[in-house]
Structure 1
């Protein structure tokens, strides 16, 4: 029987998953190195879609204090419903690290959150956001650890893309860059000269582990409806200063064919 590859992900989403990395991983608090190891694991609790680092207890250079045990019976009421990914709610990065869906013990790691999973003895999963900086070798890691099974392709295209809201054309281009990202809908990044709507800068900022730090815009009275990467990560410099719209909330036509609005955490 043929199996669609993404369905294999859905089948194991409810399980604890881990993958060793040979990279040297370091965590900083201020200028102090508090974790330094070449034996880290990428670690996904059940229903988590992005990993954190789990490191050997011996690699932690600060005080570790044991806290309460948890049974991991995270309610299915927690999380986001993404029918294209899983029948059960998924835990995206907006769900706090403190939500645990596998048995283990909560830890205090130098005043920051840690978790010792019962099924990964000798390792401590760490709250990525609680530390001031992370490095893989000499490169900063932003947002969360990169998933080695997650891929992004940013390809120049000559497809005709039109973006509308209530019949008003916000942008139209025949020179987009299409971004194909694992488990996410295709995104259409357009040159600013092809954006008709006035873009008003927003104070909102987000971080993508793969693309970098995004700045947001309001357009046609819709807050934070578009974003751009002024300084994208080195592998995706093609996206610099291009504008992408949330087609979850807009009408997008490609080569004259209307696309259905995708269902994502940003719907």
Structure 2
């Protein structure tokens, strides 16, 4: 009996998952080391699609205290976003706050040494994670694996990106108006996500309006965004690019990518269906 890997991964999303890492992990805040551990775990709460780091309590520089804010309600089944090609569950991507938990446990505060600042933490009620505190990645000022700074969230060892040059002819349009056409795209294949078509800026003919939106990808770096003027009006934040990508995605520097979810994409004369993702 066979199983499609996508179904195997999607079928586990309703479980509390963890994976040990051999990397030394460090979190810093206000110029102090908040946590440093060679025994960290990557932890995915049920329906979470990116992991957080959990460290043993004894590897916290100043221990734990009461939660910094009142406990938020748990994340009900209707919270989150659809990825129907992966799971029927509503997934919790990084936009869903850390405080919205999907597994039993206790919220705690993690003290910053020499400061009144407190970072959110969570102690899942599971024997395999006993004695560990899951930390809000957005709480400290910086995270490091060994001496390399992390961006966005911890890297998932079971997630990867592949960038491939192609000669496929890609046309992007909206409301019948051509926005871009290129026969020299770079294709990005990322685990459980749609193929993305990155195009040279000179092959984009649509008027682009710079946006103040910025996001961070753990694998590609900080993304800048543009809105697109179309016959149907302004499509906000429909295009993004990486002016200064991380080494794993260096080929994407200054290329532009459209959200397939919001525009029409034709590849080699064949229209592609719009994918349903958290960015639809």
Other-structure match for 2:269: 256
Deviations 1:107-134 (A, max 9, x none): 0112110001111101100000011000
Q: Secondary structure at the match of 1:28?
A: strand
Structure 2: gaps of 5 or more residues: 112-117
Q: Secondary structure at the match of 2:7?
A: helix
Other-structure match for 1:53: 53
Return the match for 1:174 from 175, 183, 193. 183
Deviations 1:171-227 (A, max 9, x none): 000000000000100000000110111222111111111000000112222221101
Deviations 1:38-62 (A, max 9, x none): 1100000011000000001111002
Other-structure match for 1:160: 169
Between the aligned partners of 1:135 and 1:263, the Cα distance in structure 2 is 33
Distance 1:117 1:74, change over 3 A: same
Between the aligned partners of 1:232 and 1:151, the Cα distance in structure 2 is 15
Return the match for 2:142 from 104, 121, 133. 133
Return the match for 2:120 from 104, 107, 113. 113
How many corresponding residue pairs? 266
Other-structure match for 2:260: 247
Other-structure match for 1:236: 249
Contact 1:69-1:105 within 8 A present in 2 as well: no
Other-structure match for 1:79: 80
Moved over 3 A (4+): 66-70
Between the aligned partners of 2:40 and 2:63, the Cα distance in structure 1 is 19
How high is the TM-score relative to the length of structure 1? 0.96
Other-structure match for 2:197: 188
What CA RMSD, in Å, does the superposition of the two structures yield over aligned residues? 1.6
Return the match for 2:212 from 191, 200, 203. 203
Other-structure match for 2:30: 30
Other-structure match for 1:101: 102
Q: CA deviation at 1:89?
A: 0.9
Deviations 1:46-100 (A, max 9, x none): 1100000000111100241145998x96421211122112111111111111011
Q: Secondary structure at the match of 1:88?
A: strand
Q: Secondary structure at the match of 1:130?
A: coil
Contact 2:27-2:33 within 8 A present in 1 as well: yes
Q: CA deviation at 1:30?
A: 2.1
Structure 1: gaps of 5 or more residues: none
Q: CA deviation at 1:146?
A: 0.3
* Correspondence 1:92 to 2:99: no
Between the aligned partners of 1:179 and 1:205, the Cα distance in structure 2 is 20
Between the aligned partners of 2:83 and 2:33, the Cα distance in structure 1 is 38
How high is the TM-score relative to the length of structure 2? 0.92
